Amino acid sequence: MNPRTIMLIACVLASGEAPAQGTLFDYSGPDRMQRIVAAAKKEGSLTMYTTFAEKDQPTLIKPFEAKYGVRVSIWRAGTDKVLQRTLAEAAAKKYDVDVIHFGSPEMEALSREKILEPVKSPVHKDLQPGSVPPHREWAATLLSVWVQVYNTNLVKKGDLPKTYRDLLDPRWKGKLGIEAKDEDWFASVVDVMGGGEKGLQFFRDLVARNGISARTGHTLLNNMVIAGEVPLALTVYNYMPEQSKRRGAPIDWFALEPAIARSNAIGIARRAPHPNAALLFYEYMLGEGQQYLVKMDYVPSNTKIASPLRGVKILQTDPVRSLDESDKWTKLFDDIVLKGSGN
């Protein structure tokens, strides 16, 4: 998150007003979904602000509209613009948005400004650990999982590392690559490797023994593996090598556990003009809508939905740390991994 956005968050004074009356955010009776559907149909529509790719929107939205008869209007932009617009409208007491869907750190920023409404949903229990914060004002919908990717002409499957510590094996000297801005992955693996100085020392040792070449952009790093310039990449999103493999490229992937993931999340605006339609869409995104995310090669947050990483232990990055300690971890990543390897 850039400094201008952080300053905007600090300066905004959200309304903090109570949600609209007649909503079902805390209702848990046996007829909960029937009530939500009926109330949502009366409202008839909802508005979502999101970063979700325009080309993928129909796959996700059309089944919802067809089943429930509730129209979804979408305003799409980059992460910073979605955040800034939501904050600015709340400060101006302009209540247009019902649902926000973008990165979890930014969702946490909205929560701090009292823009989101807590939701009590039975589907929360089905989500991956770390998907719902204690305040229940947002929930992870999809995971961007970093996996390890290798060139099948240069690396034998039987030689692949089985743990993060196996990366210290001298066989990987000069063969490792990483995306140049994956400090969230780095911070999480530091935790996995003992945290604090112990975890940081793991990366110092890895860089000193084997080196890690950095590339800017996950697509570029994926292509470098295909070209054989990076035999083993540490941080590529899982769908990239899978799609390349389907096209016949000499590439495959595996996951060191716990696999590290960023999440996108959904939240309902506290002053949503269509609160029940928003709640219905929230339930959809965490439940039946998850199958459509899988069709688009996303990793679902719902553990009951078939996934290419089903059975793999996943650790989600900490959105609070991403929000509050971005500068710290960017500097550590730069100093230890990027500069340490001479990138």
pLDDT band at 22 (very low <50, low <70, confident <90, very high): low
Assess whether pLDDT exceeds 80 at residue 88: yes
Across 105-216, where does the E strand assignment appear? 139-151, 176-179, 213-215
The 10s digit of each residue's pLDDT in 194-246 is 999 999 999 999 999 999 999 999 999 999 999 999 999 999 999 999 999 99
Q: State which H helix or E strand residue 100 sits in.
A: strand 99-103
Residues with Cβ within 8 Å of 217's Cβ and at least 6 positions away in sequence, in order, are: 179
Provide the whole-model pTM. 0.88
